[in-house]
Amino acid sequence: MQKIVIVTGYWNQEGIWGDSTKEVNELLEEGWKVVNANPMGAYGFGTGHGSAGEERSHLGHHQYHDKGFASLIVLERD
């Protein structure tokens, strides 16, 4: 049996790193094995503009909350 989980990582508005690895970690503890992991992409890296190209001047100098990644994890268990 296989299961697919999408894992994300991101900076929240307070500049604290968060991720969705809890589900994957729980499945690994239950005996699932990772058979494949693929990056799905990153977002927001190096940008200082809104989605419509407007400056984000209202943000502080730590503009973390618009940056993150996603990965697709394939797990398998007998």
> For residues 7 and 76, what is the distance between their CA atoms, to the nearest angstrom?
16
Higher-confidence position of 49 and 66: 66
- Give the DSSP letter of residue 49: B
Q: Is the pLDDT of residue 53 over 60?
A: no
5 in the Ramachandran plot: left (φ > 0), alpha (ψ -120 to 50) or beta? beta
Q: What are phi and psi of 24, to 5 degrees?
A: -65, -45
Cα separation, 78 vs 74, in Å, equals 14
pLDDT digits (tens, 9 = 90+) for 13-37: 778 889 999 999 999 999 999 999 9
The model's pTM is 0.65
